[in-house]
Structure 1
Amino acid sequence: MPHIITVNAGEDITMKVISFSQQGPRAICILSASGVISNVTLRQPDSSGGTLTYEGRFEILSLSGSFMPTESQGTISRSGGMSVSLSSPDGRVVGGGVAGLLVAATPVQVVVGSFLPSNQQDQKTKKPKSDYATATVTAPIPVSSEPPSTNGERIDVMCGHPMQNSGTFNSNFTPPSAFRRENWANMHSVPDSMKSATDINISLPDN
């Protein structure tokens, strides 16, 4: 995400950029800058870590650098730096790492881009794993919708109560009560020969 930082004359560009980077958790990268500075302190590698300070009017040719948020023992700070190339009025070009002041002589515009560091992106995209219980799905057992057959139902004449029977109904079945009534009638029937009058001859003694 690009941003434009405006630095007024007399302000330190370095402090302005660092102050902007501290407004959020995002890191910033300096893309370009335009304007004139009046005072700059540069680090010179060939002078055993020493610094050189230039005063005058120097036009900014290029400005680059970055500031990354770092956390140490619960304290968040910024680490990074800037490098600048300048052109003097007489055509000299000086440059190096900014080691101190970088004071604007005129309003200076600095274009920076902000982004989330890779370690913060990894923490943001990671989601806590949740344990999923494995569910076993049992296939449904088909149930017949046909009504039960009534062929297995018969009536017990002796008891007078319906009784379920898993066998096949026998149409020739003779109820026990009918069988008993028929036998009872047969047992109590008297032959016609026995119903006829019986002559009994009794001999009486003569007086």
Structure 2
Amino acid sequence: MSDFMQDDPGMASIRTLIGIAQTGLAYAKDPYDIERYHQLLETAQILLVKQPSPLTSQLLKNLVADSGYATPKMDIRAAVFDSERILLVKEVEDGLWSLPGGWADINHSPAQVAAKEVLEETGLRVSPRKLVAFTDRRLHPHPPMLLHVYKAFFLCELSGGTLRPSLETPDVGFFDEHNLPELSTARVTHEQIAMMYRHLRDETLPTYFD
């Protein structure tokens, strides 16, 4: 998968400008430099508004609230199986399906986030047992996104709980490998689902990384 690279040039340029501005504002001492970095951030926001993305307003909120040295965000996903069926959740944002998961939380390890997200989104308790993949979102066939995101995929063992939906995931269920619902490719791709199955069947496979 690592030979595929999809990254919108416009988004990549805006991402670079915002990273320079955020990092500059974190370290600049001279008031003239600080003013210039604010101007650069404002310019990047103007360019972002012109991008044809339904996520633009939310991205603007995230970027304005962000500060300090610019680094990628972390998205964590959990692969949970009931025999040969994989657990998927319906995302309220786009009505499509994904592996349970979301942004990493402060004061939680990546594995703890995976287990917490599964419990919150599906009502099931799981124990992460293997890091299947650690990837750069830009290098895989996800829709273009301004944020630079790393993704971690954990293979998890089901240990209890009762399957139920949540406010963020209005429908949840286990699905056969060959009868999957329409995926939210902003979050997970068909190849990533296939990779989860390969590691389910052979846990000796090494962790995949870009």
TM-score between both structures, scaled by the size of structure 1 = 0.17
Higher helix share: 2
TM-score between both structures, scaled by the size of structure 2 = 0.16
The structure with the larger Rg is 1
Higher strand share: 1
